[in-house]
Structure 1
């Protein structure tokens, strides 16, 4: 797992040998099941990207069979492109929207109410018909948690003991990291009620934050106010057009409807962040996800102002609110960290394969004598 990387002369005694991670000693795959595409990336042990594949989701974007097919094909493609033996993979990490339940019999089961996934046995579906050997492990978790994992290891969360990492895409979610939950816990922040009897959310409830702050609802509200998002495009392209209408680069008159909707969204997002500030008193809040990155630094001052106005004064004075630092690949990096963290937790040892046939007699005797 490590190799020599030169030496440093000592002031006295023997020179010191430098070590570094042997990059080719392990490989992981990270998968981001996003709103517009499935992104698959292969990394070595230093988390250097070796290959990537993207599969657009199109109109059937959350059809379970389509998503499973894209993941299977994508992971096979990146291993073939890089010439990596699938049997040597440390695992495949996948970030998905929704609540992930880890069951003893079916593996990871996804409850994605906003995307129409009702107890989807995603791990079982991926294992069935997979081209990978059974020794390759699948690690499936909420996309906000994988984003949070990446930012805490390599991005804007490094060094913080308490942080919240926000995923702002078609919907919104968050990952809470505390000393008690050091690897992060996904929280369904987007379904916090911000307005009684408010707009209907994708989950079916009324007044959720996601119904006001998610990119899908943002574009819908612009359309209701007379805006004209480009037809037959994905949400990322439509949001780019909305931002161009609200903040024209050529100095022309801004679209008042787009500007008003963006300003209202900043207030709702700030109010939603104030709840996280009051509840968890984090040191840092980082905003990631494709929509959060598109809105960018120009959007942040208004969000910070509204968060401070709605939050309790003392915790608001202790927190910083910034953009995440890892860009659009943060969810795939965080997903790849899932098998990497498991590998480290096992002391750098790969899972042992169960021997075929009956156990040797000496093992049976030891198991009988072991204290219970």
Structure 2
């Protein structure tokens, strides 16, 4: 009975800490009184929790609030230099490694090119580990100040200590990326699908902020989506939800890199668009070639708008989101020139009622969105973890993501 009571008290304290810390992270600075009124905890509880957080250095005092005649109130905020997070974007053509402070300001960056047809896992691992060393060296941040490394990858990420990756477009089948990375670094690792990582970044810092129901689509060389339901990322039974690029849009259509036929990715992903336009994709600059097709008003781009609009209409009919956010370099490129036409196709192929309540816009986080999203995996753990469980203030928690 005593052990049960101890666990209950400990869990209650941990929960209160998470509530206070999340409030300060997303809505701060705030005084203790404002925190109590906003989150519904008693002033005594808020005082105890903030005292512990101040002692650990996770939060700091940030001046005084304007007084209405009473005693001045001390403002509190998250200490942005308490720790740092590494975010890694494993893309079709690059491995991008970035270091962020707790305000998600980028401190350093390293990038390594990948051949579109070459995704050797050992090479990818070497690039990630080398990139970690580079960004720490350039920034001067000591390794012990790094709270963890988040990695965004294509495909399905299987939960578990090995973080098995199933990415047919990379030729990866149950690749134990977590185990391979852990052999080269002792930093805490968090691995998730790149589109889901980008979706979390848009939800926290981008145009998805405060949305309860949204879909963030990533369109680059490949295609994916992050489905937000009631403010949380929908993962499905084994974390494979959001493989929008592999929904079928044409029976017996173009062959997709996953091995199937008629996948949406084969029609709206940059690689598929270029191949339909007769561009040899093995050695070209995909971004430059796609921009040239858009500027020339290629008929293939007109087709792409139709396929993309229908694909988005399917998402709206299925999930009834309040927002659709188009991200990824190819998605933003298409949207910047063709968003009005895309919306028209969506309206023509969508049920009227859900279309009336949805907004369709572009992501604003730019090329760093996946790396930024991957770094939020580390911050998410910090905001809910037990600071005593790891020397750097982190501890693993039950989650349907690969936290290693």
**TM-score normalised to structure 1 length:** 0.85
Quick check: 1:36–1:235 contact (8 Å CA) kept in 2? no
Classify the secondary structure of the residue corresponding to 1:187: coil
Q: Give the aligned partner of residue 381 of structure 2.
A: 342
Cα deviation code 1:87-124 (max 9, x no counterpart): 33211001100000012xx4211000122101100010
Aligned equivalents of 2:363 and 2:280: distance in 1?
Answer: 27
**Which among 219, 232, 239 is matched to residue 182 of structure 1?**
232
Q: Name the CA shift for 1:59/1:168 in 2 (closer, same or farther; >3 Å).
A: closer
Aligned equivalents of 1:5 and 1:117: distance in 2?
Answer: 48
Q: Name the CA shift for 1:311/1:13 in 2 (closer, same or farther; >3 Å).
A: same
Classify the secondary structure of the residue corresponding to 2:296: helix
Aligned equivalents of 2:168 and 2:66: distance in 1?
Answer: 60
Quick check: 2:219–2:326 contact (8 Å CA) kept in 1? yes
Q: Give the aligned partner of residue 174 of structure 2.
A: 119
Q: Give the aligned partner of residue 272 of structure 2.
A: 217
Q: Give the aligned partner of residue 13 of structure 1.
A: 70
* 1:137-216 aligned within 5 A: 137-179=188-230, 182-185=232-235, 186-216=241-271
Aligned equivalents of 2:303 and 2:164: distance in 1?
Answer: 36
What is the aligned-residue RMSD (CA, Å)? 1.7
Aligned equivalents of 1:337 and 1:43: distance in 2?
Answer: 10
Aligned equivalents of 1:60 and 1:189: distance in 2?
Answer: 22
Cα deviation code 1:65-108 (max 9, x no counterpart): 111111010011111111222233211001100000012xx421
* 1:158-307 aligned within 5 A: 158-179=209-230, 182-185=232-235, 186-223=241-278, 232-246=283-297, 258=298, 260-307=299-346
Cα deviation for residue 13 of structure 1 reads: 1.5
Aligned equivalents of 1:59 and 1:175: distance in 2?
Answer: 23
Cα deviation for residue 330 of structure 1 reads: 0.8
Aligned equivalents of 1:324 and 1:308: distance in 2?
Answer: 20
Cα deviation code 1:329-349 (max 9, x no counterpart): 1111110000100111115x1
Matched pairs, number = 329
Quick check: 1:40–1:71 contact (8 Å CA) kept in 2? yes
* 1:75-94 aligned within 5 A: 75-94=132-151
Cα deviation code 1:19-77 (max 9, x no counterpart): 22211101100000112111111011111111111111135531111111110100111
Classify the secondary structure of the residue corresponding to 1:68: helix
Q: Name the CA shift for 1:230/1:201 in 2 (closer, same or farther; >3 Å).
A: closer
Quick check: 1:36–1:234 contact (8 Å CA) kept in 2? no
Q: Name the CA shift for 1:67/1:164 in 2 (closer, same or farther; >3 Å).
A: same
Q: Give the aligned partner of residue 253 of structure 1.
A: none
Q: Give the aligned partner of residue 352 of structure 1.
A: 390
Aligned equivalents of 2:384 and 2:285: distance in 1?
Answer: 40
Q: Gaps (5+ residues) in structure 1?
A: 247-257, 354-372
Q: Give the aligned partner of residue 323 of structure 1.
A: 362
Q: Gaps (5+ residues) in structure 2?
A: 1-57, 236-240, 392-404
Quick check: 2:153–2:191 contact (8 Å CA) kept in 1? yes
Aligned equivalents of 1:167 and 1:15: distance in 2?
Answer: 47
Matched, 1:68 2:148: no
Quick check: 1:7–1:17 contact (8 Å CA) kept in 2? yes
